[in-house]
Amino acid sequence: MNEGTQQAEPRRRGRRAGGEDTKAALLAAAREVFMQRGYEGATVRSIAARAGVDAAMVNHWFGGKEGLFAKAVLQLPVDPNTLVDHLLSGPREHIGERIVRTFLGVWDPIGGGQFAALMRSVTAHDQVADVLRDFFVGTLLKKVVAGIGTEDRPELRATLAASQIFGMGMVRYVVKFEPLASTDVETMVQAVAPNLQRYLTGDIG
């Protein structure tokens, strides 16, 4: 019903009138559909349809489904530098709390479905796990750890913290274990933040 009385012209062939960026439209559509359906579940046809474009454009612009996937997945929903700055602002003995609040603040509003979708892509395709690992370990965690300045095994601490964050997301958004999936942010902070804090600045043996 989204076209109303507009009779569906079969859309004329040939070059489009100026202004419309097919490549960008495909990338945006690809991000959505890949996230929702995973790599194999997303079809080139459905992505092209959402972009309002013919499926052949995927081959024309990205050399195929794989190429489109590679380009689309690399576009992350948050800016790493802003994120790191925000996490590192304030006293280091409250960084655990800030991480929990930031994480839930990002994903709770969008229903967590996006997080579930990201996990789906991560587990379904090794490429995505690689990209995510490079981003998380090579960029985000490295900077956070450097900012905190803990001397003892900083990389291990960072990945331990990551494990708690990933797990919180998995249980809250993907498998949805109750009551954790419905627990309010304050309670989550009180429960989880101290454990994160211990990983990052406490005694881990």
C-beta closer to DNA: residue 2 or 11 = 11
> In whole angstroms, how close is the CB of 77 to a copy of itself at the nearest point?
17
Question: Closest Cα partner for 141 from 118, 119, 123, 157?
Answer: 157
In the list 4, 10, 91, 205, the residue contacting a copy of itself (rule: CB under 8 A) is 205
In the list 28, 136, 148, 201, the residue contacting a copy of itself (rule: CB under 8 A) is 136
- Chain positions 51 to 80 lying near DNA, rule: CB under 7 A, are 52-61, 64-66
Give the list of residues 6+ apart from residue 6 with CB closer than 8 angstroms, or none.
none
Q: Can you list the pairs that 18-24 forms with residues at least 24 positions away whose Cβ atoms lie under 8 Å?
A: 22/51, 22/53, 22/57, 22/61, 23/61
The sign one gets for the Cα dihedral 111, 115, 118, 123 is negative
For residues 42 and 120, the answer to whether their CB atoms sit within 8 Å is: no
Asked if 76 touches a copy of itself (CB under 8 A), the answer is no
In the list 21, 41, 52, 77, the residue contacting a copy of itself (rule: CB under 8 A) is 41
Which one of a copy of itself, DNA, none interacts with residue 33, CB within 5 to 8 A by kind? none
For residues 99 and 148, the answer to whether their CB atoms sit within 8 Å is: no
- Chain positions 13 to 42 lying near DNA, rule: CB under 7 A, are 13-18, 20, 22-23, 42
Give the list of residues 6+ apart from residue 189 with CB closer than 8 angstroms, or none.
97, 100, 101
15 DSSP assignment:
S
* Binding stretches for a copy of itself (CB under 8 A): 38, 40-41, 116, 119-120, 122-124, 129, 132-133, 136-137, 141, 153, 155-156, 159-160, 162-168, 170-172, 174-181, 183, 187, 190-192, 194-195, 198-199, 204-205
* Binding stretches for DNA (CB under 7 A): 10-18, 20, 22-23, 42-46, 52-61, 64-66
